[in-house]
Amino acid sequence: MQSFNPARIILKRKSLNKTQQDLARETGLSNAAIYYIEKGKRTPKAGTLGRIASALECNVDYFYEEKPGNNANTGQLV
């Protein structure tokens, strides 16, 4: 199971020395939208996340992380 991790947007944005305003301008989103996405108060739709990934020069998958789930593959050796 994968979960959207908004902190990864912040990490990637800062690694590229971009501000929230830079990201907003490059994606066509408002400054407020970037703020709310980064704070985890809004989850971006696929198209929006694609624009963010493009502006941050990464793949959309970068913004997701594996969460422990209820599946058969738990990573334990048997």
CA-angle at 59, arms to 2 and 40, nearest 5°: 50
Burial of 34 (0-12, 13-18, 19+ CB in 10 A): buried
Residue 78 in any domain: the answer is: no
Residue 77 in any domain: the answer is: no
Structural domain span for residue 24: 2-66
Residue 6 in any domain: the answer is: yes
Residue 11 in any domain: the answer is: yes
Residue 61 in any domain: the answer is: yes
Could you read off the pLDDT of 17-65 as tens digits, one per residue? 999 999 999 999 999 999 999 999 999 999 999 999 999 999 999 999 8
Residue 48 in any domain: the answer is: yes
CATH number of the domain bearing residue 19: 1.10.260.40
Give pTM, 2 decimals. Answer: 0.82
Residue 74 in any domain: the answer is: no
- Predicted confidence at residue 2, as pLDDT, reads 83
